[in-house]
Amino acid sequence: MLTLVVLAAGMGSRYGGLKQVDPVGPHGEILLEYSVFDAIKAGFERVVCVIRRDLEEAFDQHIASRLRDQIALDYAYQELTDLPDGFALPPDRSKPWGTGHAIWACRECVSGPFLAINADDYYGPHSYQLLAQQLQHADSPYAMAGFRLANTLSEFGSVSRGVCSSDEHNWLQSVVEHTKIEKQGSRIVSQEAPGGPQELSGEELVSMNFWGLQPSIFAELGHQFQQFLASNPGPKGELYIPSVLDQVIREGRGKVKVLASSESWFGVTYPDDKPRVVEEVRTRIQRGLYPEKLWS
Render pLDDT for 226-245 as a digit per residue (tens, 0 to 9).
999 999 999 999 999 988 99
pLDDT for 20 equals 62
Per the prediction, the chain carries an average pLDDT of 91
pLDDT for 282 equals 97
| 13 — pLDDT class (breaks 50, 70, 90) | very low
What amino acid is encoded at 226 in this protein?
Answer: Q
Residue 11 pLDDT more than 60? no
What SS3 class is residue 9? Answer: coil
| Cα angle for residues 131, 136, 49 (degrees, 5° grid) | 60
Sign of CA dihedral 230, 106, 93, 233: positive
pLDDT for 78 equals 95
pLDDT for 117 equals 97
pTM: 0.90
| 175 — pLDDT class (breaks 50, 70, 90) | confident
Residue 37: exposed, middle, or buried by beta-carbon count in 10 A (0-12, 13-18, 19+)?
buried
Sign of CA dihedral 116, 153, 146, 131: positive
| Cα angle for residues 130, 175, 40 (degrees, 5° grid) | 25
Please name which of 175, 46, 194, 158 lies closest in space to residue 100, comparing C-alpha atoms.
Answer: 175
Q: Which domains does the chain have, with CATH numbers?
A: 3-286 (3.90.550.10)
Q: How many residues does the chain have?
A: 296
Please name which of 120, 113, 141, 129 lies closest in space to residue 50, comparing C-alpha atoms.
Answer: 120
pLDDT for 17 equals 46
- Most confidently modeled of 38-42, 64-68, 119-123, 249-253? 38-42
User: Following CA atoms 220, 51, 131, 162 in sequence, which dihedral angle do they give, to the nearest 10 degrees?
Assistant: -70
